[in-house]
Amino acid sequence: MIYLDNAATSFPKPPEVTAAMRHYADKIGASPGRAGHRPAAAASRLVFQARERLAALFGIADSSRIIFTKNVTEALNLVLFGLLEAGDRVLVTGLEHNAVMRPLRRLEKSRGITVDILPMTTAGQPDPAVLENWLTSRRYAFAVLNHGSNVTGSLLDLAAIVPRLRRERITVVVDGAQTAGALPLEVEKIGLDVFCFTGHKSLLGPQGTGGFYLRPGLQPRPLIYGGTGSRSEAEEQPEFLPDYYESGTPNTIGLAGLAAAAAFIERESPAAIHQRELHLVRRLEEGLAAIPGLTVHGPPPAAGDRLPVLSCTIANLSPSEIGLQLERRHGILVRVGLHCAPRAHRTIGTFPTGTVRLAPGYFNTMAEMETVVAALADIAAAAG
Amino acid sequence: MENDLVLLLFDSIHQVMQAEQLLERRGLAIDLVPVPKEISSDCGLGITLPAAQLAAARAALEAAAATLRPRLYRRLGRGRYQPLADRETG
Ligand SMILES: Cc1ncc(COP(=O)(O)O)c(C=O)c1O
């Protein structure tokens, strides 16, 4: 079996992730931040370590500014529903996931916000003329930007766009679902106001983990209220971080795994991980470009930095038929369709049928990439 | 006086963990202890250390983050604590 669905969730995980989760389950078990006994202290240390390691990985000085949620979708919801007000105008890229588009469409109806969707170049960057025109003629309160496309693998050039947005005093929220753990990141240096991440993709942690970074001075309303283990005598929510946003018993077993995953990434180094994955996807780019009847959708081959995510279609075959043949005849697991990102597929012209998405991960091999190229060549030849 | 213990209480468990890491790295003789019910029903854990190391501890905490300002108590005996007056906190 060749698992090429790492953009949905990474598999396998490093062995130390499962080991850390098992250790918590078998040897600790207690709730963090809720009691004075030793297992509770050990559980609290695990959660603290998860925050510290992610802060180091993302270039964030104060780890209390990392707030945990169950995934990036919850983080984005918290931030968008917690910050946006009636009349706000919001700028988004044309490659957003429904984790961004659905909360925004809801807020259009319920709070009367306005959403402007940027047209994109084939390299996955905002059309520079349109961006400049809109920034000078309209007043934006927020920009919500997908850092890395889960459909095409294109990377948004944050270093170029964020300073421009900040000059207009626009609050910049970044969806880092695909990039957290996949490459070196300097969240505070780039100047992001909010950076949302999910634990189970390139961070190599378990499902049910995710969160966001909040820059000092920003204070969205919480999504939920309740017990935090702190200020227990008060019936009002304590406003310090991270407790303000983390009511209820956390996913300690998941965070134990996430801490181990972050340690693994730190040890391997995000730069080395990125290089390895880039190497794999370059081989796919090259191999697929030579297959008649097959079209790659997204940045042109060898055209600068990208993620190990690649979309393609084959003439006369539906994506679901290709996916079925890949699995049944070749043991290759991919994801077909719209990838929860209809907006991105509209932007690249593959709506509504979608594409076949190949998403190798850190544990895939070059030999597997050869097998995948050969399998797709086979399927395309039979269809043509 | 050598056996005098001081108890440090923080706002959140995150701060307790942060302080534990900082003070341990300084080689101070700290211990993580349950917060005495007489004082607070908060997040459950506090830090004790010898009174003689309090000044070093406070300097380390303040250097790390302005928000790391624990409430301080002197241990008088089993389950008995007294807030430290400002002039005693060095
Ligand atoms: C760009 C992007 N944003 C958001 C998400 C949602 O991630 P999650 O399901 O972990 O909340 C995904 C993954 O599905 C994604 O690729």
Give a three-class secondary structure readout of A267-301: HHCHHHHHHHHHHHHHHHHHHHHCCCCEEEECCCC
CA A41 and chain centroid, separation: 31
DSSP codes, A300-351: PTT-S-B-S-EEEEETTB-HHHHHHHHHHHH-EE-EEE-TT-HHHHHHHT-T
Q: What confidence score (pLDDT) does residue A244 get?
A: 97
A72 lines ligand 1 (CB under 6 A): yes
CA-CA-CA-CA torsion for B79, B83, B84, B86, nearest 10 degrees? 170
Three-state DSSP class for residue A245: helix
Tell me whether residues A36 and B12 touch, CB distance under 8 A.
no
Beta strands in A141-288 (DSSP E): 142-146, 171-175, 194-198, 210-214
A97 lines ligand 1 (CB under 6 A): yes
Measure CA of the first residue to CA of the last residue in chain B; give whole Å.
15
Distance A99 CA to ligand 1 centre (A): 6
Of A224, A258, A232, the residue nearest A48 (C-alpha): A258
A198 lines ligand 1 (CB under 6 A): yes
Of B42, B27, B49, B12, the residue nearest A51 (C-alpha): B12
Tokens of A228: 């935090």
CB A152: neighbour CB atoms within 10 A? 29
Tokens of A254: 């998941």
A36 closest CB neighbour out of B20, B34, B67? B34
Q: Give how far A72 is from chain B: nearest CA, Å.
A: 22
Of A154, A147, A200, the residue nearest A176 (C-alpha): A147
Three-state DSSP class for residue A141: coil
The full set of domains in chain B, from first to last, is 2-77 (3.30.70.260)
Please report which confidence band the pLDDT of residue B5 belongs to, taking 50, 70 and 90 as the band edges: very high
Name which of B45, B47, B67, B71 to mutate to probe chain A: the one with the most chain A Cβ atoms within 10 A of its Cβ. Answer: B45
Name which of B10, B11, B14 to mutate to probe chain A: the one with the most chain A Cβ atoms within 10 A of its Cβ. Answer: B14
Name which of A38, A230, A243, A244 to mutate to probe chain B: the one with the most chain B Cβ atoms within 10 A of its Cβ. Answer: A230
A178 lines ligand 1 (CB under 6 A): yes
Tell me whether residues B44 and A62 touch, CB distance under 8 A.
no
Q: Report CA Rg, chain B.
A: 12
pLDDT tens for chain A, residues 1 to 384: 999 999 999 999 999 999 999 999 999 999 998 888 999 999 999 999 999 999 999 999 999 999 999 999 999 999 999 999 999 999 999 999 999 999 999 999 999 999 999 999 999 999 999 999 999 999 999 999 999 999 999 999 999 999 999 999 999 999 999 999 999 999 999 999 999 999 999 999 999 999 999 999 999 999 999 988 888 888 899 999 999 999 999 999 999 999 999 999 999 999 999 999 999 999 999 999 999 999 999 999 888 899 999 999 999 999 999 999 999 999 999 999 999 999 999 999 999 999 999 999 999 999 999 999 999 999 999 998
Tokens of B77: 């005996």
Q: What confidence score (pLDDT) does residue A66 get?
A: 98
CA angle A320, A321, A325 (to 5 degrees): 115
Of A36, A72, A32, the residue nearest A49 (C-alpha): A32
Alpha carbons A227 and A248: distance in angstroms, whole number: 5
Closest atom of ligand 1 relative to the A199 alpha carbon: 10
Alpha carbons A346 and A325: distance in angstroms, whole number: 26
Distances from the Cα of A333 to the Cα of A2, A296, A325, A336, B63, angstroms: 6, 18, 10, 10, 52
Q: What confidence score (pLDDT) does residue B67 get?
A: 82
Tokens 């106001």 found at:
A193
CB A69: neighbour CB atoms within 10 A? 27
Which of A155, A198, A343, A345 gets mutated to test ligand 1 (max ligand atoms within 8 A of its CB)? A198
Please report which confidence band the pLDDT of residue B43 belongs to, taking 50, 70 and 90 as the band edges: low
**Phi, psi dihedral angles at B43 (to 5 degrees):** -60, 5
Of B5, B6, B19, the residue nearest B67 (C-alpha): B19
Is pLDDT of B87 > 80?
no
Q: Give how far A204 is from chain B: nearest CA, Å.
A: 24
Contact A325, A319 (CB under 8 A): no
Q: What is the pTM of this model?
A: 0.96
Q: What confidence score (pLDDT) does residue B79 get?
A: 77
| Residue of chain A nearest B11, judged by CA positions | A230
A135 lines ligand 1 (CB under 6 A): no
CB proximity list for A161: less than 8 A, separation 6 or greater: A125, A126, A131, A145
CB A191: neighbour CB atoms within 10 A? 15
The full set of domains in chain A, from first to last, is 2-11+270-383 (3.90.1150.10), 15-268 (3.40.640.10)
Of A211, A246, A219, the residue nearest A230 (C-alpha): A246
CA angle A290, A293, A296 (to 5 degrees): 65
Distance A7 CA to ligand 1 centre (A): 8
Order across the sheet with A171-175: list the strands.
A66-69, A210-214, A194-198, A171-175, A142-146, A89-92, A114-117
Tell me whether residues B21 and A48 touch, CB distance under 8 A.
yes
Contact B43, B17 (CB under 8 A): no
Measure CA of the first residue to CA of the last residue in chain A; give whole Å.
26
Distance A235 CA to ligand 1 centre (A): 34
Tell me whether residues A230 and B11 touch, CB distance under 8 A.
yes
